[in-house]
Amino acid sequence: MSAPVKELKRAILSGHFRHGGSPLLRMCFGNVVGEKDAHENEKFTKAKARGRIDGAVAAAMAVGRIIANEVTPSPYEGRGFAFL
């Protein structure tokens, strides 16, 4: 989950992540606590979170699927992917 979490973090910090004002996602991302290991791998940790983080984990999993499918040719190649 390190690559998806890093990509999600990059999108949030650069202002490219848009969730349509969803109060549920706002709460989940507000509760997330990130954790790095000795190899600079990042993950969300539920043990240190202040509340539910399910929406943030689901978003990271979706980004992971997008990253995994980037190896196949796509009609959208070169455009990247959009967070909505």
Task: List Cβ neighbours of 51 (8 Å cut-off, separation of 6 or more).
Answer: 27, 30, 31
Q: For the whole model, what pTM was predicted? A: 0.73
pLDDT digits (tens, 9 = 90+) for 4-18: 999 998 988 898 888
- Does residue 70 have a pLDDT over 80? no
How high is the pLDDT of residue 18?
Answer: 83
Quick one: the chain helix, strand, coil %, rounded to 5? 50, 5, 45
- Taking only the tens place, the pLDDT of each residue in 15-65 is 888 888 889 999 998 898 888 888 989 988 888 778 899 999 999 998 898
